[in-house]
């Protein structure tokens, strides 16, 4: 029996990869747009990027908590 259940960690990593891909796509789509954007378009684009970065950070925090919990459970088994 493995000491750490990898399924929740694998699922969390999948969410992190999705959040990273979303953030990267938004940033890539925004390259060079600031020249032609109106203030409202720029503001909306930056809001989307900020939200994507916040989601990514939240997923990292969740992964950290899962890893910490798994480590504590594994150490309790020893």
Q: How many domains does the chain have?
A: 1
Please tell me the predicted confidence (pLDDT) of residue 24: 93
37 Cβ neighbours under 8 A, 6+ residues apart: 45
Range of the domain at 26: 20-77
pLDDT tens profile 5-25: 778 888 888 999 999 999 999
Please state, in angstroms and rounded to a whole number, the distance separating the CA atoms of residues 76 and 78.
6
Q: Both ends of the chain: CA-CA distance in Å?
A: 13
Please tell me the predicted confidence (pLDDT) of residue 61: 93
Mean pLDDT value across residues 34-44: 83
Give the model's confidence band at 52: pLDDT under 50 very low, under 70 low, under 90 confident, else very high. very high
Please tell me the predicted confidence (pLDDT) of residue 2: 57
Residue 57 is assigned to a structural domain of this protein? yes
How much is the mean pLDDT over the chain? 85
Residue 51 is assigned to a structural domain of this protein? yes
Residue 7 is assigned to a structural domain of this protein? no
């Amino acid at each position: 029996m493995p000491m750490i259940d990898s399924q929740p960690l694998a699922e969390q990593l999948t969410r992190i990869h999705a959040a990273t891909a979303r953030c990267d796509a938004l940033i890539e789509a925004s390259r060079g747009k600031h020249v032609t954007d109106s203030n409202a378009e720029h503001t909306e684009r930056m809001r989307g990027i900020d939200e994507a970065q916040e989601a990514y950070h939240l997923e990292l925090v969740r992964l950290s908590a899962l890893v910490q919990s798994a480590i504590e459970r594994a150490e309790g088994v020893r």
